Structure 1
Amino acid sequence: MSIVSIEKCALFMQGNIRLQHRLIWGLSLASVVVYINLYVVQGMLPLIATHFNVMPAHATLLLSVTSFSMAFSLLFYAVMSDKIGRRKPLLWSLGLLVLVDLILVGLQGFSSLIAMRLLQGVLLAAVPAIAMAYFKDMLDKTILLSAGAVYIAANSLGGIAGRLIGGAMAAYLDWPMAMMILTFISAVGVLMVYFLLPNRDRVRAEREPKIRLSFDDLRGFTTHLSDSTLRKLYLLGAIAFMVMVNQFSYIQLHLMQAPFNWGRFEVTLIFLCYLSGTYASFRSAKWVTRVGRQPLFVLSTSVMLLGSLVTTIDTSSTIIAGFLLSSFGFFTFHSVCNAWVAQRAQQHRAKATALYLCSYYLGAALGGPFLLPFWHQWGWNGVVVGSLLLLLVVMGVVALLARDNRSRQTNALLTE
């Protein structure tokens, strides 16, 4: 090979690496925009109740309805992105999200707000449904796990930012001004995503002039659901998130009561405990390589169990320590689960990820009603008991995964 050819090859590789880095940061920023919009209302519930003249308990519906519409919309985007590519539906959904944010500025009725939040859930689903499949299409295998870790870390940062921004706006601004600021944040983020995402799209699936849905488009879902390993991963993601996100909801109620008496904005600072999860997400790729998926599942679940138990000591410092542990354990668990789903799916990758995230967000929506009787009966300690029951189920499913892996390895040796 001539020196000129070697130089051209090196330049091509450098350009390819830059495109891959742009993709990672573009999708991570898109994730931050999505999770700010999803969770901003969680810090604004008192303001929403006052502005729309509803009970605070009714205001909590805003997060539930968005989670439900988001969960099922994930499946739609999985089909769509396999047909027309990843970039186009992702950018269109983000652009429409900014428009919906702007509409929220002038809303007066609570029923209209519910409708807009349902629509937001549909639009918010595009990024989580497409991101991991987009990575698998465009990235080298050597950096796929690291890209997934950065992306999950961005999810946690978006969740933290959304709640803190919502709490700050609720404390100091009225509803129209708060929504104007949210629209500005979303618009700036979407513009940056537009310029970061590379124009390339390697999806060579059914690129037809007309988008027709057929049984073949649904076959990916049935294929993945028939895979016992993927079914277990979907269940694990659902139960783990059921515990995590709802523990954060109930601890706010606990901390606003005596003897803590935290204020409305002060109580949202508990979400800074997500930062330990951000760190765990970022480091999870190296831990998987060093320790292995199965041991990391057991370790991260154990950390979640320990974190939940620590909070029962019931002081401010132990509650914070417990949530730092729980966040660390959960995001390690979620990173491994998410990456395993993406790696296991050889075809219809967006559908595999969408099924995982659909179960993930349905788990979040169902966790509140599941833990509510525990809260009413025994307060925060009851929530911990309910969480421990769910985490024991997680341990059982992880044990079944380990047994299945051992069986496959044994069968492989016998056939050699």
Structure 2
Amino acid sequence: MAQSRNRRIGVAVLAAGLATFALLYAPQPVLPLLSAEYHLGPAAVSYAVSAATITLALAVLPMAALSEVVGRRPMMLGSVFAAVLIGLLLPLAPDFASLIALRAVQGVAVAGLPAVAMAYMAEEIGVSGLGAVMGLYVAGNTTGGMSGRLLAGVVGDVADWRYGLLAVAVLAALCAVAMAVLMPSSRAQVRQPMRLGSLFAGMRGATRDSGLYGPYAVAFLGMASTVAVYNVISFRLIAEPFLLTPGIAAMVFLGYLFGGAASATAGRLADRVGRPLVLLAALGVAVVGTLMTLPDNLFAVLPGIALLSAGFFAAHAVASSWIGARAVPESRAQASGVYLLAYYLGSSFGASVGGWAYGAGGWTPVALVNCGWLALAGLVVFRGRAAGRSVRRSEPAPASPATAR
């Protein structure tokens, strides 16, 4: 009975992750089409992505606190269905300003899922079965982020960007229905009034522990570098000398597959040799991948994108587990929330700066700025490695909810 219930929870959170993260990044591959229609440069049109990620970042902590009052399951269901509804409205936006406003609201809606998914799974399943179900949730996030981009890019190229976004919204709606049917009601959570005192105490613990600064830097700067690349790579690939169609250029998002494979490998390796060393190695791989994209040669650019994805998502997986292992229990939820905040603020920052850099000087400034961000993240990890060593390797490390791609 318990095993059947856990399977239902696993499939439900997989569907929820697929729905929300398909919606979150769906505009990314159609940015060149939006740019052509609204006569905007890469920097300005990138707000179609960053408007949602920045409001998501700002809403994560309030949504987590609100779930204590309204309940985990209602929060997640409301989040997913609200995000789907806004996704269905996006193709009807009469102008770019309306599109940005809808995306900003959609970011707030999406925030309800990552803010509480980890807590729901931990409460309903327990530590013994959490790893397998968390794996399904991560798979949903990664698959959703990739499939949303691919579907929007291919359909947008064949028809129009509006049909591309509509196709993603329909896919997300089907996943939302599956989530609603499968997700059991919470049996473990005891709803309680919001206590600001304990929330602030947890936040102090999450922000004053220097051993957590390395993971936070990886979240912000690593995600900034990845989103900056993926936001403008389509502009580069449809221009000379490549001259790919937008649909073919969207295939570059298959690079996320390498990120998923590298994440699992990095997590196991970190348990054996330590998190700081694996984090630094992963960031180094991301730098090498970024430098490989500099020549105007697809046989260098595509492997470079794959290496960048593998390096960042490996670092992201290790940094996420570092949060769970390092933070004290009373600050663990807030530390995960701060990690998510850094992660999505980095996404917004990278989208804006990457678009500006590409518009100002083409691909080379984007690549060099990215290398600088990754090197800075590595420096913070290196300086904080002594604090990181105090984490007991034998302590079980629950995964962070910050696994959205």
Q: Tell me how far 1:369 sits from its aligned partner.
A: 4.2
In the other structure, the counterpart of 1:379 is 362
- Paired residue secondary structure (1:243): helix
Whether contact under 8 Å (1:164, 1:268) holds in the other structure is: yes
- Paired residue secondary structure (1:198): coil
Give the alignment's TM-score, normalised by structure 2: 0.86
Seen in structure 2, the aligned counterparts of structure 1 residues 323 and 147 have a Cα distance that, compared at 3 Å, is farther
Residue of structure 1 aligned with 2:290, choices 303, 308, 314:
308
Whether contact under 8 Å (1:46, 1:170) holds in the other structure is: no
Q: Tell me how far 1:138 sits from its aligned partner.
A: 3.4
Whether contact under 8 Å (1:149, 1:335) holds in the other structure is: no
- Paired residue secondary structure (2:239): coil
Residue of structure 2 aligned with 1:200, choices 171, 186, 201:
186
Seen in structure 2, the aligned counterparts of structure 1 residues 28 and 230 have a Cα distance that, compared at 3 Å, is farther
Residue of structure 2 aligned with 1:23, choices 3, 6, 9:
9
Paired with 1:314 and 1:142, the residues of 2 have a C-alpha distance of 49
Whether contact under 8 Å (1:156, 1:278) holds in the other structure is: yes
Paired with 1:177 and 1:250, the residues of 2 have a C-alpha distance of 21
Whether contact under 8 Å (1:24, 1:147) holds in the other structure is: yes
Q: Tell me how far 1:348 sits from its aligned partner.
A: 5.4
Seen in structure 2, the aligned counterparts of structure 1 residues 315 and 170 have a Cα distance that, compared at 3 Å, is same
Deviations 1:40-84 (A, max 9, x none): 111223444566x45354432211111111110111111112334
- Paired residue secondary structure (1:258): coil
In the other structure, the counterpart of 1:412 is none
Residue of structure 1 aligned with 2:122, choices 136, 144, 147:
136
**Aligned residue identity for 1:263:** T
Seen in structure 2, the aligned counterparts of structure 1 residues 93 and 345 have a Cα distance that, compared at 3 Å, is farther
In the other structure, the counterpart of 1:363 is 346
Whether contact under 8 Å (2:211, 2:385) holds in the other structure is: no
1:249 paired with 2:231, answer yes
Seen in structure 2, the aligned counterparts of structure 1 residues 157 and 345 have a Cα distance that, compared at 3 Å, is farther
Residue of structure 2 aligned with 1:168, choices 154, 158, 162:
154
Return the index of the structure with the highest Cα Rg: 1
Q: Tell me how far 1:364 sits from its aligned partner.
A: 1.5
Whether contact under 8 Å (1:79, 1:350) holds in the other structure is: no
Whether contact under 8 Å (2:283, 2:311) holds in the other structure is: yes
**Aligned residue identity for 1:76:** P
Q: Tell me how far 1:354 sits from its aligned partner.
A: 2.0
Paired with 2:289 and 2:160, the residues of 1 have a C-alpha distance of 36
Of the structure 1 ranges 324-333 and 217-226, higher mean CA displacement relative to structure 2 is found in 217-226
Residues 53-92 of structure 1 mapped to structure 2, 5 A cutoff:
53-55=38-40, 57=42, 58-92=44-78
**Aligned residue identity for 2:72:** R
Stretches of structure 1 lacking an aligned partner (at least 5 in a row): 1-14, 410-416
Whether contact under 8 Å (1:145, 1:285) holds in the other structure is: no
Q: Tell me how far 1:216 sits from its aligned partner.
A: 3.6
1:399 paired with 2:382, answer yes
Residue of structure 2 aligned with 1:95, choices 57, 73, 81:
81
In the other structure, the counterpart of 2:218 is 236
Residue of structure 1 aligned with 2:94, choices 104, 108, 116:
108
- Paired residue secondary structure (2:243): coil
Whether contact under 8 Å (2:60, 2:114) holds in the other structure is: yes
Whether contact under 8 Å (1:135, 1:144) holds in the other structure is: yes
Paired with 2:303 and 2:162, the residues of 1 have a C-alpha distance of 37
**Aligned residue identity for 1:24:** G
Q: Tell me how far 1:254 sits from its aligned partner.
A: 2.2
Whether contact under 8 Å (1:224, 1:352) holds in the other structure is: yes
Identity %, equivalent residues? 27
Whether contact under 8 Å (1:304, 1:326) holds in the other structure is: yes
Seen in structure 2, the aligned counterparts of structure 1 residues 199 and 408 have a Cα distance that, compared at 3 Å, is closer
In the other structure, the counterpart of 1:323 is 305
Size of the alignment, in residue pairs? 390
In the other structure, the counterpart of 1:159 is 145
1:336 paired with 2:321, answer no
Seen in structure 2, the aligned counterparts of structure 1 residues 142 and 309 have a Cα distance that, compared at 3 Å, is farther
Deviations 1:212-248 (A, max 9, x none): 5644444332331122223332222111111111112
Q: Tell me how far 1:341 sits from its aligned partner.
A: 1.9
Paired with 2:29 and 2:362, the residues of 1 have a C-alpha distance of 21
**Aligned residue identity for 2:216:** Y
Give the alignment's TM-score, normalised by structure 1: 0.84
Seen in structure 2, the aligned counterparts of structure 1 residues 269 and 386 have a Cα distance that, compared at 3 Å, is same
In the other structure, the counterpart of 1:4 is none
- Paired residue secondary structure (2:93): coil
Deviations 1:116-166 (A, max 9, x none): 111100001111222233333334434545544443343222121111111
1:289 paired with 2:271, answer yes
Whether contact under 8 Å (2:23, 2:169) holds in the other structure is: no
Paired with 1:262 and 1:289, the residues of 2 have a C-alpha distance of 42
**Aligned residue identity for 1:65:** A
1:182 paired with 2:168, answer yes
Whether contact under 8 Å (2:231, 2:354) holds in the other structure is: no
Whether contact under 8 Å (1:152, 1:281) holds in the other structure is: no
- Paired residue secondary structure (2:362): helix
Whether contact under 8 Å (2:154, 2:246) holds in the other structure is: no
In the other structure, the counterpart of 2:336 is 353
- Alignment root-mean-square deviation, CA: 2.7
